[in-house]
Amino acid sequence: MAEKKTWQIRYRGPLGRAFEKFCLHRLAETDFHLLLSPYREKRGHLCGDQVMLWGMLVDCALRLLPYLEGAEALEAKIRRSVSEMMSLQEEDGCISAFPRPLQLQGLDLPGRRYVLNALLRAAAMPEADEKIKECCLRMTDQLISLVGRDKRPVIYCGNCGGLDASAILDSVVGVYRLTKEKRVLEFARYIAASGCSQQHNIFSAFKSGMEPRLLGNGNAVGLTDCFRGVAELCKVDPASAAEYKKLCQLYMERINAEELFITGAGGGGNSSGTLWCRGAYRQTESSCAGGPMGSTQVTTACLQYFAALTALTDPLQPFALAERSFYNAFLGAWNEKKLCWDHLEPTPLTTARRYSSPEDTSLYDLLRGAEALALFPEMAMVPIENGAVLNFYEDLEAQIPRKAMIRVTGGYPGSTKAHISIRSRTPFTISMRIPDYCKGVYYLDSLLAWQKNSYLTITRPWDADEILTLEFDSKVKTHYPPDDSRYQAFTRAGIVLAADERQAQIEDSMTLLWRNKLAFVDYASAGKPADCGAKFNVWFTKLFPQYLFHYTDKD
Candidates 500, 499, 503, 496; CA nearest to 540 is 499
Q: Are strands 518-522 and 404-409 parallel, antiparallel or unpaired?
A: unpaired
Q: Which pLDDT tens digit goes with each residue over 261-303?
A: 999 999 998 888 899 999 999 998 888 888 888 899 999 999 9
Q: Which pLDDT tens digit goes with each residue over 354-388?
A: 656 556 678 898 889 999 999 999 999 998 888 99
Q: Indicate the DSSP class of residue 321.
A: H
Residue 333 makes CB contacts below 8 A (sequence gap 6+) with 265, 296, 299, 341, 342, 345, 369
Q: How far apart are CA 59 and CA 64, in angstroms?
A: 9
Contact 62, 125 (CB under 8 A): yes
DSSP string, 228-252: HHHHHHHHH-HHHHHHHHHHHHHHH
pLDDT computed for residue 532 by the predictor: 77
Task: Enumerate the H helices of 310-362 as residue ranges.
Answer: 316-325, 331-333
pLDDT computed for residue 513 by the predictor: 80
Q: Which pLDDT tens digit goes with each residue over 72-123?
A: 999 999 999 999 999 999 999 999 999 999 999 999 999 999 999 999 999 9
Confidence of residue 505 (pLDDT cuts 50, 70, 90): low
Confidence of residue 552 (pLDDT cuts 50, 70, 90): low
pLDDT computed for residue 202 by the predictor: 98
Angle between helices 131-144 and 72-87 (to 10 degrees): 40
Share of the chain above pLDDT 70, in %: 92
Confidence of residue 2 (pLDDT cuts 50, 70, 90): very low
Level-2 CATH architecture, domain 383-412+417-472: Sandwich (2.60)
Helix (H) or strand (E) holding 495: strand 495-500
CA-CA-CA-CA torsion for 24, 308, 256, 329, nearest 10 degrees?
Answer: 0
Whether the full predicted model's pTM is greater than 0.85, yes or no, is yes
**Strands annotated E in 393-473:** 396-400, 404-409, 417-434, 438-443, 446-447, 454-462, 467-472
Contact 210, 195 (CB under 8 A): no
Q: Which pLDDT tens digit goes with each residue over 294-326?
A: 899 999 999 999 999 999 999 999 999 999 999
Candidates 11, 6, 53, 40; CA nearest to 393 is 11
Cis peptide before 481 (omega within 30 of 0): no
Q: Are strands 387-390 and 417-434 parallel, antiparallel or unpaired?
A: parallel
Angle between helices 316-325 and 238-258 (to 10 degrees): 40
For 384, half-sphere exposure in the C-beta direction (CA atoms, 13 angstrom radius) is 15
Exposed/middle/buried for residue 311 (C-beta within 10 Å: 0-12, 13-18, 19+): middle
Task: Enumerate the H helices of 42-130 as residue ranges.
Answer: 50-64, 72-87, 108-123
Q: How far apart are CA 136 and CA 175, in angstroms?
A: 7
- b/e string for 233-251 if b means 16 or more Cβ within 10 A? bbeebeebbebbbebbbeb
Q: How far apart are CA 267 and CA 287, in angstroms?
A: 10
**7 residue type, one letter:** W
Confidence of residue 139 (pLDDT cuts 50, 70, 90): very high
